[in-house]
Chain A
Amino acid sequence: MLPGRDLLVRTLRTPESISAFSMGDWDILVRQARAAGLLARLYHRFREHGFAAAIPDAVRWHLEAAETLANKQAVAVRWELRQIRAALGGLGAPLVALKGAAYVAADLSPAVGRLFNDIDILVPRASLPKVESALMLAGWHAAGLTDYDKRYYRRWMHEIPPLQHIERGTVIDVHHAILPDTARYHPDSAKLLDRAVAVAGMPGVYVLAPEDRILHSATHLFHDGELPHGLRDLTDLDLLLRDAAADANFWPRLAARAEELELGRPLFYALRYVRRFLDTPVPDAALAAAAASAPGHATLALMDAVFSRVLAPDHPSCADRLTRGARLAAYVRAHWLRMPPHLLLPHLFHKAFLSPAQRPPKPA
Chain B
Amino acid sequence: MKLLQLPPAELRRQLAGAGVWLRTGPFSLRVRSRIPAVAEGLTELYGQFEVRNAHEAFADFHVAVEPPASLRRWVRPQVEFSFDGMKPFRPLPRDQAFPMLEWGLNWCVSTQAHQFLIIHAAVVEKNGRAAILPAPPGSGKSTLTAGLVLSGWRLLSDELALIDRKTGLIQPLPRPVSLKNRSIDVIRAFAPDVYINRASHDTVKGTVAHMRPPRDSVRRQHEAARPGWVIFPEWKSGAPPTLTPRSRAQTFMFLAQNAFNYSHLGEDGFRVGTALIDQVDCFDFHYGELPGAIAVFDALADAGRPA
Q: Are B59 and A27 in contact (CB under 8 A)?
A: yes
Q: Are B57 and A72 in contact (CB under 8 A)?
A: no
**Size class of the A contact interface (CB-based, 8 Å):** 20 to 34
Q: Are A363 and B111 in contact (CB under 8 A)?
A: yes
Q: Are B56 and A24 in contact (CB under 8 A)?
A: yes
Smallest beta-carbon distance A117→chain B, Å: 14
Q: Are B58 and A35 in contact (CB under 8 A)?
A: no
Q: Are A363 and B58 in contact (CB under 8 A)?
A: no
> Which residues on the A side are within 8 Å of B85 (C-beta)?
35, 314-316
Q: Is B304 an interface residue (CB 8 A)?
A: no
Q: Known contacts A58-B58, A59-B58, A71-B266; decide if A363 and B86 are in contact (CB<8 Å).
A: yes
Q: Are B112 and A65 in contact (CB under 8 A)?
A: yes
CA distance A61 to B88 in the complex (A): 22
Q: Is A75 an interface residue (CB 8 A)?
A: yes
Q: Which of A25-76 contact B (CB under 8 A)?
A: 26-27, 30-31, 34-35, 56, 58-59, 61-62, 64-65, 68-69, 71-72, 75
> Which residues on the B side are within 8 Å of A69 (C-beta)?
114, 264
CA distance A62 to B113 in the complex (A): 7
CA distance A75 to B111 in the complex (A): 19
Q: Are A62 and B265 in contact (CB under 8 A)?
A: no
- Count of chain B residues with Cβ under 8 Å from any Cβ of A? 23
Q: Is B102 an interface residue (CB 8 A)?
A: no
Q: Are B264 and A62 in contact (CB under 8 A)?
A: no
Q: Is B95 an interface residue (CB 8 A)?
A: no
CA distance A287 to B115 in the complex (A): 44
Q: Is B87 an interface residue (CB 8 A)?
A: yes
Q: Are A34 and B58 in contact (CB under 8 A)?
A: no
Task: Identify B265's interface contact among A72, A314, A361, CB under 8 A.
Answer: A72
Q: Are A64 and B58 in contact (CB under 8 A)?
A: no
Smallest beta-carbon distance A34→chain B, Å: 7
Mask of B43-69 contacts with A, CB within 8 angstroms, 1/0: 000000000000111111010000000
Task: Identify B84's interface contact among A26, A34, A59, A61, CB under 8 A.
Answer: A34
Smallest beta-carbon distance B195→chain A, Å: 31
Q: Is A300 an interface residue (CB 8 A)?
A: no
Q: Known contacts A61-B113, A315-B84; decide if A56 and B58 are in contact (CB<8 Å).
A: yes
Interfacial residues, chain A to chain B (CB-CB below 8 A): 23-24, 26-27, 30-31, 34-35, 56, 58-59, 61-62, 64-65, 68-69, 71-72, 75, 314-316, 361, 363
18 contacts between A and B (CB under 8 A): A23-B58, A24-B56, A24-B57, A26-B58, A27-B59, A31-B62, A35-B85, A58-B28, A59-B58, A62-B60, A62-B112, A64-B114, A65-B115, A69-B264, A71-B266, A315-B85, A363-B88, A363-B111
Pairs A-B, 6 closest by C-beta atoms: A65-B114, A23-B58, A68-B114, A27-B58, A61-B115, A72-B264
Besides A64-B115, A69-B114, A315-B84, 11 new A-B residue pairs in contact (Cβ under 8 A), listed by A number = A23-B57, A26-B58, A56-B58, A61-B115, A65-B112, A68-B264, A72-B264, A72-B266, A361-B87, A363-B86, A363-B88
